[in-house]
């Protein structure tokens, strides 16, 4: 499998180079030259296959010969070696709980897969790799955990000051070792812009071997397909309508790729908070990035989602094909809080703010379907507990985390300052 830049179809690399570079030199994102179609026999066999076997079959065509079959199987086993259950909220709606990994967020899956791939490739690389990643909340902690003490890899995480939850911040600022956290005086979009600019800076790239761990990296993005297969594997005769909390759109874009490959998903609901760029695109056909708006579902506070360009390539830039596959709704903070309260009072199920956005958006489209619960409610305990008027059960990992002290370097959002920092590494 070859990958081309979304800015130049003639720029082709293999999976290894796409992972190591993170972003193409021309600023584009890497995209597979073809979608790996899945046969009906594999889809029908899903209930009888382990999660690791499913992951291996889904990702194998995209990896090609860049990783040996035995090594790829081991990577897949490690990536999904925790529970990913589909839980019935009520008779009509189920939640795919993606927060049972080490950092209590769906991004553990992509981060573990990518870190394993990068570790495999780094064995043949005598130069240390620096991973740059911008986070709006959960990406940073998942990447930090996935890459902690991986030989030959340093990680630099950029996160927006005062715009991630307390527990999210502790998860990405307390690990030390090969993990460095930069607290940026700006928004997630500012953090993402700094990372993207660094990847196109020839002086920095001559100084450091850079790669990205955001969903712009194909290893992060492609492996997010896995759990859509797990949802269908566990689905019990309800319509396969998937409501996905959407910020940078890597998550839903991976699901759309799985659908195009043959996974029987009827419709996607792009569940957005006050950041409505994609919803407005579906309404008028014009994509117009905006300044990110801060909300209580902070991991979705993105005003210029990177993976929009991949969605367009997936559907060959046909607006009508995108509209046929996806609907989108914007959910306010007030409605998010009301949804958390209502679902808890009626069904005893505790949603986090992102899952609540997905639930509310699904209800606007259909009374039945599957939502993605992307983070444990404890990560947003202040918001959730004020809505349900009771304490969220605290996992042991969080109890231990609260004993640790934040360690982060505060920087302005200017590129010159960020570049100076990188050049001094």
Q: Is 30 helix (H, G, I), strand (E, B) or coil?
A: strand
**pLDDT at position 313:** 95
Taking CA atoms, 417 is separated from 35, 86, 154, 409, in Å, by: 40, 45, 19, 12
How far is Cα of residue 185 from the mean position of the Cα atoms in its chain? 23
- pTM here is 0.88
**Identified catalytic residue from 34, 37, 60, 107:** 107
Q: Is 211 helix (H, G, I), strand (E, B) or coil?
A: strand
**pLDDT at position 140:** 81
**pLDDT at position 188:** 87
Q: 219-243 burial, b if ≥16 CB within 10 A, otherwise e?
A: bbbbbbbbbbbbbbbbbeebebbbb
| Spans of all domains in the chain | 83-106+221-390
**pLDDT at position 138:** 74
- Whether 302 contacts 247, CB under 8 Å: yes
Residue with tokens 């890497």: 30
Residue with tokens 């998942």: 142
Residue 346: exposure state from Cβ atoms within 10 A (0-12, 13-18, ≥19): exposed
**pLDDT at position 335:** 98
For the chain, the farthest-separated pair of C-alpha atoms sits apart, in whole angstroms, at 58
- Domain spanning 83-106+221-390, CATH class: alpha beta
**Phi and psi at residue 183, to the nearest 5°:** -90, 110
107 labelled catalytic: yes
Helices (H) then strands (E): counts for the chain? 20, 14
Sign of CA dihedral 327, 347, 88, 239: negative
- Whether 221 contacts 347, CB under 8 Å: no
* Residue 329, strand partner residues: 271
Per-residue pLDDT of the chain (425 residues; tens, 9 = 90+): 999 999 999 989 999 999 988 889 888 999 999 999 999 999 999 999 999 999 999 999 999 999 999 999 999 999 999 999 999 999 999 999 999 999 899 989 998 999 899 888 877 666 788 989 898 777 788 888 888 988 888 999 999 999 888 888 999 899 999 999 999 999 988 998 999 899 889 999 899 988 877 778 999 999 999 999 999 999 978 889 999 999 889 999 999 999 999 999 999 999 999 999 999 999 999 999 999 899 999 889 999 999 999 999 999 999 999 999 999 999 999 999 999 999 999 999 999 999 999 999 999 999 999 999 999 999 999 999 999 999 999 998 889 889 999 999 999 999 999 999 999 98
């Amino acid at each position: 499998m070859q990958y081309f830049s979304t800015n130049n179809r003639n720029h082709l690399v293999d999976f290894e180079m796409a992972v190591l570079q993170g972003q193409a030199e021309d600023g584009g994102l890497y995209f597979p030259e073809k979608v790996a179609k899945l046969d009906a026999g594999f889809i029908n066999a899903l209930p009888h296959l382990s999660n690791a076997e499913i992951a291996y079959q889904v990702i194998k065509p995209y990896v090609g010969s860049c990783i040996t079959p035995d090594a790829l199987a081991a990577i897949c086993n490690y990536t999904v070696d925790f529970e990913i259950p589909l839980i019935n909220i009520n008779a009509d709606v189920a939640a795919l709980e993606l927060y049972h990994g080490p950092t209590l967020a769906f991004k553990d899956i992509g981060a573990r897969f990518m870190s394993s791939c990068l570790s495999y490739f780094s064995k043949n690389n005598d130069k240390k790799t620096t991973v740059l990643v911008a986070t709006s909340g959960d990406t940073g902690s998942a990447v930090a955990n996935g890459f902690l003490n991986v030989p030959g890899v340093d990680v630099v995480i950029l996160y927006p000051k005062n715009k991630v939850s307390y527990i999210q911040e502790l998860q990405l600022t307390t690990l030390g070792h090969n993990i460095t956290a930069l607290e940026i005086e700006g928004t997630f979009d500012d953090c993402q812009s700094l990372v993207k600019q660094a990847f196109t800076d020839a002086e920095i790239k001559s100084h450091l071997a850079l790669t990205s761990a955001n969903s712009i990296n194909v290893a992060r993005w492609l492996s997010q397909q896995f759990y859509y297969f797990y949802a269908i594997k566990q689905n019990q005769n309800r319509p396969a309508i998937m409501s996905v909390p959407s910020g940078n759109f890597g998550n839903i874009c991976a699901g759309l790729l799985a659908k195009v490959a043959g996974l029987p998903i009827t419709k996607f609901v792009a569940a957005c908070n006050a950041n409505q760029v994609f919803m407005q695109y579906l309404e008028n056909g014009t994509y117009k990035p905006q300044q990110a708006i801060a909300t209580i579902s902070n991991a979705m506070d993105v005003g210029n989602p990177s993976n929009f360009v991949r969605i367009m390539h997936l559907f060959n830039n046909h607006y009508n094909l995108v509209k046929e596959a996806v609907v989108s709704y914007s959910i306010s903070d007030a409605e998010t809080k009301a949804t958390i309260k209502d679902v808890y009072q009626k069904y005893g199920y505790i949603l986090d703010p992102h899952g609540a956005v997905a639930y509310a958006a699904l209800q606007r489209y259909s009374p039945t379907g599957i939502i993605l619960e992307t983070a444990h409610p404890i990560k947003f305990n202040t918001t959730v507990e004020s809505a349900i008027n009771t304490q969220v059960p605290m996992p042991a990992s969080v109890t231990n985390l609260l004993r640790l002290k934040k360690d982060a370097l505060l920087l302005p959002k200017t590129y010159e300052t960020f570049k100076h920092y990188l050049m001094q590494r």
